[in-house]
Chains A and B, each alone.
Chain A
Amino acid sequence: MRALVWLVVLLVGSVLIYAEGGLPRLGDAHAPPARHVSPRYIERSHTETGTPNFVTAILADYRAYDTLGETTVIFTAGLACVLILRVQLQRPGRGRRP
């Protein structure tokens, strides 16, 4: 069983290392996302969203659904903190007491 796990890990790892060679280099101006999506954001985000800072325009407008998910992740982290540590949400003296 343990040998099988190692086999799977090594297999997936070697596939990832092999596939890494096909990725565009960081900051490559001729990569597909840099040729289609980025120029559109740079050229039109100001007129379309009225926001000079196009990082904000992408984060909160074009990719707003993604940001909703990120906010939910942070909220889940806070909820998990409360559930794992088992603290009382109500302050003592408020509400019903045992």
Chain B
Amino acid sequence: MKTPFGSLLLDAACRLMVPFILLFALYVVAHGHDSPGGGFQGGTILAATMILMRMVHGQEHLWGLHRLSALRLACAGIALYAGIGLLSVLWQGQYLDYGVLPLPVSTARAHALGILGIEIGVVMAVAGVFVLMFDALTAWGEDD
């Protein structure tokens, strides 16, 4: 994106809001077991932060996530999800049956940890895809 909407007001508001939005994204993911929330919601909030930074500050604040690495992040998220499923197949369980994973906790806790693992995969995939889509749409027609 070549022309950011930056101004003094937006800059100050962004500076105030971004840490709290990031914290809220983390809360939505980590607390998804106990309250409404989870990977899709947390990933969207995380991507919203990055899109806000891009809209206000433009290309100087990509946070190291340009288009190719956003795509890589999304791929890694899906690979993490499918990989956890394959791990439980390796330990003679069914696909995505986290109870058989060799963790030093009870079966119920292993299920909870497995859910957290795939939620993190979903967060990576959703955040990567949304940043990638935003970058693709704003870069359209750019001749670089």
Q: A50-B111, A67-B118, A78-B74 are in contact. Are A87 and B96 (CB under 8 A)?
A: no
CA distance A49 to B34 in the complex (A): 12
Interface size range on A against B? 20 to 34
Of the residues A52, A71, A82, contact of B67 by C-beta under 8 Å: A82
CA distance A81 to B130 in the complex (A): 10
Say if the beta carbon of A21 comes within 8 Å of chain B: no
Say if the beta carbon of A12 comes within 8 Å of chain B: no
CA distance A82 to B129 in the complex (A): 10
Using a CB–CB distance below 8 Å, which chain A residues touch chain B? 47-53, 55-57, 59-61, 64-65, 67-68, 70-72, 74-75, 77-79, 81-82, 85, 87-92
Starting from the known contacts A49-B108, A71-B126, A81-B133, 4 additional A-B residue pairs (CB-CB under 8 Å) come to A53-B32, A64-B85, A68-B78, A91-B66
